[in-house]
């Protein structure tokens, strides 16, 4: 018998209840084929839990998660739950407390999926966005002064630390060494001169330690246009929390659908479990109809296995996705009529074949 992995499974809300079980069925198929063991435990946390219990997860939720090898996560959010609530920071809390400081978001074109950038091929779109996941614009330190008066004003603090920038930069250069050896720092240091000026300085210092990797920096406005005009330029992108958040939706869009994007919130040292989730939200507008695209969620399972060291099984899932997309007639977001479960079954039967 191979290794054993304990996985915490959090469906979350909306389509999470359909696509996470689809992903777990794929995980079980590869575990059987590649001879390792997966034990799962389900947690019904998220906005639905908030409606019932006034909190997104129990007080000891983080302690519970620490006992697992990895967390397989759907998405959080319901229309009736205000998403500016401090408690909504459930995912931010998990990402920071478990020091998942790398948000790893690959962008690639699967066979048979038409990118909205019509003439682009699979060779043209294949890069990774690394979003700093613990600090930057999202530290949520700010204040609204005199909100209901003519003198109302508001401030948000953005913060970057040397430790925070160095560790994501090292991750980026090491990853680039396994890929096409090119790192692009996406920044806006010409206007956010303090935080991002410091960010650029620290990244450049780390870059000097990897002379075999090509390094360059690009401003976010130019990078956004370049995603559309010359996506083949990019290999590994390293960027801040908010800029990475925005760029990865654009990355999902140029892949053909937001429903295709997978991701990992990674603690590279393995001190705490990492968490794997699709890049999209809970899509309450299409929940409960078995029409959501499960590929982003299933790809996240592959990223999880890669992180756990089960490379062959991870590759098999990606090959299964390629097989499913190459057959055509995908889910509604890709103008098809296939159901969530049909796509998952295509991938499972490819793995079993
Ligand atoms: P969040 O704030 O959690 O990121 P969001 O407001 O950005 O959420 P999503 O839930 O990502 O919104 O949904 C945006 C749009 O994309 C919706 O119209 C939704 O139906 C669609 N969508 C998202 N994920 C999928 C999917 N897996 N399959 C099909 N359509 C999807
Ligand atoms: Mg979103």
The full set of domain ranges for the chain reads 1-108+260-353, 115-255
CATH 3.30.60.50 fits 1-108+260-353, yes or no: no
Cβ of residue 109 lying under 6 Å from some atom of ligand 1 = no
State the complex-level ipTM.
Answer: 0.95
Q: Confirm if 102 and 265 have CB atoms less than 8 A apart.
A: yes
Least distant ligand from the CA of 283: 1
Q: Tell me what pLDDT residue 84 has.
A: 72
- Our CA dihedral for 345, 43, 270, 165, rounded to 10 degrees, sits at 100
Q: Whose CA is nearest to atom 12 of ligand 1?
A: 281
Cβ of residue 258 lying under 6 Å from some atom of ligand 1 = yes
Cβ of residue 283 lying under 6 Å from some atom of ligand 1 = yes
Rounded to whole angstroms, the Cα distance separating 48 from 56 reads 8
**Low-confidence stretches of the chain (pLDDT beneath 70):** 1, 85-89
Rounded to whole angstroms, the Cα distance separating 317 from 103 reads 20
How far does the centroid of ligand 2 lie from the alpha carbon of residue 249, in Å? 7
Q: Whose CA is nearest to atom 18 of ligand 1?
A: 283
How far does the centroid of ligand 1 lie from the alpha carbon of residue 45, in Å? 19
Cβ of residue 277 lying under 6 Å from some atom of ligand 1 = no
Residue 187 structure tokens:
């920044």
How far does the centroid of ligand 1 lie from the alpha carbon of residue 194, in Å? 34
Q: Tell me what pLDDT residue 1 has.
A: 66
Domains 1-108+260-353 and 115-255 share a fold: yes
Q: Tell me what pLDDT residue 125 has.
A: 95
How far does the centroid of ligand 2 lie from the alpha carbon of residue 264, in Å? 15
Cβ of residue 23 lying under 6 Å from some atom of ligand 1 = no
Q: Tell me what pLDDT residue 91 has.
A: 78
SS3 102: strand
Task: Indicate which atom in ligand 1 lies nearest the CA of residue 280.
Answer: 11
Report pLDDT digits (tens) over 248-273: 999 999 999 999 999 999 999 999 99
Closest C-alpha to 241, from 91, 23, 19: 91
Q: Whose CA is nearest to atom 15 of ligand 1?
A: 283
CATH of 115-255, one of 3.40.50.1370, 3.40.718.10, 3.40.50.720, 1.10.1520.10: 3.40.718.10
Q: Whose CA is nearest to atom 26 of ligand 1?
A: 259
- Which string of DSSP letters, residue by residue, matches 176-238? HHTTTSEEEEEE-TTTSTTHHHHHHHHHHHHHTT-TTSEEEEEEHHHHHHHHHH-GGG-SEEE
Rounded to whole angstroms, the Cα distance separating 248 from 264 reads 12
Q: Tell me what pLDDT residue 93 has.
A: 84
Cβ of residue 293 lying under 6 Å from some atom of ligand 1 = yes
Question: Considering the entire predicted model, what is its pTM?
Answer: 0.94
Cβ of residue 287 lying under 6 Å from some atom of ligand 1 = no
Task: Indicate which atom in ligand 1 lies nearest the CA of residue 19.
Answer: 27
């Amino acid at each position: 018998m191979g290794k054993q992995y304990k996985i915490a499974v959090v469906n979350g809300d909306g389509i999470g209840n359909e696509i996470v079980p689809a992903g777990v069925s794929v995980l079980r198929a590869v575990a059987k084929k590649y001879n390792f063991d997966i034990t799962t435990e389900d947690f019904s946390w998220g906005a639905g839990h908030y409606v019932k219990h006034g909190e997104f997860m129990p007080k000891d939720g983080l302690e519970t998660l620490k006992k697992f090898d990895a967390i397989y996560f759907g998405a959080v959010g319901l229309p009736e739950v205000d998403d500016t609530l401090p408690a909504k920071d459930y995912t931010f809390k998990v990402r920071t407390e478990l020091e998942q400081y790398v948000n790893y978001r690959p962008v690639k074109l699967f066979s048979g999926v038409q990118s909205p950038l019509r003439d682009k091929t699979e060779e043209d779109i294949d890069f990774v966005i690394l979003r700093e996941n613990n600090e930057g614009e999202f530290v949520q330190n700010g204040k609204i002064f005199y909100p209901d008066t003519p003198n109302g004003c508001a401030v948000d603090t953005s913060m970057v630390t040397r430790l925070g920038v160095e560790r994501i930069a090292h991750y980026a250069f090491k990853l680039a060494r396994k890929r096409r050896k090119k790192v692009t720092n996406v920044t806006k240091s010409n206007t956010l001169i303090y935080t991002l000026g410091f960010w650029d300085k620290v990244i450049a210092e780390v870059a000097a330690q990897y002379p075999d990797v090509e390094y360059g920096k690009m401003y976010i406005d130019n990078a956004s246009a370049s995603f559309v005009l010359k996506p083949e330029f990019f290999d590994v992108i390293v960027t801040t929390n908010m800029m990475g958040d925005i760029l990865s939706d654009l990355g999902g869009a140029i892949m053909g659908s937001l429903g295709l994007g997978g991701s990992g919130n990674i603690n590279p040292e393995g001190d705490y479990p990492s968490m794997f989730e699709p890049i999209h939200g809970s899509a309450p507008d299409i929940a409960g109809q078995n029409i959501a695209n499960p590929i982003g969620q299933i790809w996240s399972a592959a990223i999880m296995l890669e992180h756990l060291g089960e490379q062959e099984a991870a590759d098999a899932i990606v090959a299964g996705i390629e097989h499913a997309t190459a057959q055509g007639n995908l889910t509604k977001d890709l103008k098809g009529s296939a159901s969530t479960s049909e796509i998952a079954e295509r991938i499972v039967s490819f793995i079993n074949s």
